Amino acid sequence: MLQSKLFTKMEKTPPRDEESLNAKLLVQAGFVQKLMAGVYTFLPLGLRVLNKIENIVREEMNNAGAIEMLMPGLQPKENWEATKRWDTFDALLKTKSKFGGEYAMGPTHEEVVYPLLKKHLASYRDFPVAVYQIQTKFRDEKRAKSGLLRGREFRMKDCYSYHASDEERDKYYDVMKNSYMNIFKRLELNAVPTNAGGGTFSELSMEFQVLCAAGEDVIYLCENCNVAVNKELSGDLAAKCPKCKDLTNEKKSIEVGNIFPLKETFAKNFNLVFKDNTGKEKLVSAGCYGLGTSRVMGAIAEVKNDDFGLIWPKSVAPYDIHLVYLKSNDRNVMAEAEKFYRKCLEADAGILFDDRDDVSAGSKFAESDLIGIPLRVVISDRTLEKESAEIKKRNEKNAGLVKLDDLDSYISKDS
Ligand code: ATP
Ligand code: MG
């Protein structure tokens, strides 16, 4: 991508109408733009990050045997009345058609996926089934001042698994837990598995919490075992680690995902039953697995930054390489920069090329730090004097020179 063609402008200072660090950084650097509180446009750079996050989630869900589909955001009132949640779901956003009829703007999808699967699940032979989607959700959140951490419109991966018995469901729960651990590892995000079992150390209801002072949750963390218990639900048990029995520490955190068995009530509401191997009718057993992909992006921005801007992990960075050309009267400088740019494109490496002629070196460096691409490569008069380019990793202090002939080793295929 040529930076001269990137229509989005970066701000010199953080936006004044944002309180949270993630929004300040992401807006200033041109990743997202606020339309209104809790509602953001994903600009080209931001969409690349979101897509990378969602593709990692997608790959791990597929590996866990879940099958992707896409359910509607607009949902009929009747389905929400069937679960008695039309009036009780706090953050439900409702809308009326001028032709009559009322709708829910989907905050979650039990009201769609249960009746949907009713058509397809009849016999014990039909199980297990796990379906997921990555989709835009709506919630009428009271407070929406945390940037991408709490949106009124946001992105979520939600997965629902269906089983012929609770035992089978509990086994799949472990598969999903493993899959979540893989996802957060690939995102380079330390998301602590946190028991949320409601006063017990039930392993069967878990949140994934990222330690962060700006988080809205409070957890009791065991630093030895990297496990935690949510304070909201924990009672006195939380003072000690369930594993090593050492004392825990109280920490603020961001919930980026959760996995839990679904109550029987949804199956009852929609009469989701099947015939077991003796021909007896039984209620389907189900699990639910949520992960906020846009919240994950906000969490990464919130915890991976310094005074100069964002520091993206390679797996989700908008580009792998930021090539910065510094204006010169010697045409060779641009020619060398273009040569490297073309090589990267040919190798399918993700590269942003700051080819602009009308921006000072100081501004280019400041913007490069703000955007936070893992590797910066500078080609200028000064580097060419030494037949070199300057290389600097975003997460390291010092820059170094690399001979132009050796630059190729920095090109890696975009993931
Ligand atoms: P919270 O307690 O933070 O309100 P929740 O427990 O209601 O979240 P779920 O309904 O289980 O969340 O949603 C699954 C995931 O979706 C959460 O773990 C979170 O990552 C994400 N999520 C939930 N609400 C929002 C929101 N308003 N903005 C962005 N992401 C959200
Ligand atoms: Mg929660």
| Same CATH fold assignment for domains 3-306 and 321-410 | no
Separation CA 240–CA 230 (nearest Å): 12
Claim: this prediction has a pTM higher than 0.95: yes
Residue 414: predicted pLDDT: 57
Q: Which bound ligand lies closest to the C-alpha atom of 108?
A: 1
- The answer to whether the CB of 108 is under 6 A from ligand 1 is yes
Tokens of 265: 């009530």
> What is the bridge-based pairing of β-strands 102-105 and 129-138?
unpaired
Residue 45: predicted pLDDT: 98
**Which stretches of 262-331 are assigned E, i.e. beta strand?**
273-275, 281-283, 285-291, 305-306, 309-310, 321-325
pLDDT band at residue 245 under the 50/70/90 scheme: confident
Distance from the alpha carbon of residue 122 to the mean position of ligand 1, in angstroms = 32
- The answer to whether the CB of 290 is under 6 A from ligand 1 is yes
Contact criterion met (CB below 8 Å) for 209 and 228: yes
> Dihedral (C-alpha) 361, 362, 368, 374: value to the nearest 10 degrees?
90
Q: Give me the residue spans of the domains in the chain.
A: 3-306, 321-410
Distance from the alpha carbon of residue 255 to the mean position of ligand 2, in angstroms = 7
Say if residue 68's pLDDT is above 50: yes
pLDDT band at residue 199 under the 50/70/90 scheme: very low
Residue with tokens 């295929």: 413
Q: What's the mean pLDDT in 285-308?
A: 98
> Is 321-410 a CATH 3.90.650.10 domain?
no
Q: Which bound ligand lies closest to the C-alpha atom of 230?
A: 2
Residue 240: predicted pLDDT: 81
- The answer to whether the CB of 180 is under 6 A from ligand 1 is no
Structural element, H or E, at residue 331:
helix 331-346
Tokens of 189: 């995000």
- The answer to whether the CB of 22 is under 6 A from ligand 1 is no
CATH superfamily of 3-306: Bira Bifunctional Protein; Domain 2 (3.30.930.10)
Residue 235: predicted pLDDT: 67
- Give the tens place of pLDDT for each residue, 286-295: 999 999 999 9
Q: Which of 143, 230, 295 to mutate to test the pocket of ligand 1 (most atoms within 8 A of CB)?
A: 295
Q: What's the mean pLDDT in 383-405?
A: 97
What's the chain's length in residues? 415
pLDDT band at residue 413 under the 50/70/90 scheme: low
- The answer to whether the CB of 106 is under 6 A from ligand 1 is no
Tell the residue nearest (CA) to atom 1 of ligand 1.
255
- Give the tens place of pLDDT for each residue, 326-353: 999 999 999 999 999 999 999 999 999 9
Tokens of 231: 């304070």
Tell me the average pLDDT of the chain: 95
Q: What's the mean pLDDT in 104-124?
A: 97
Phi-psi category of residue 219: left, alpha or beta, with phi > 0 → left and psi -120 to 50 → alpha? beta
Q: What's the mean pLDDT in 352-375?
A: 97
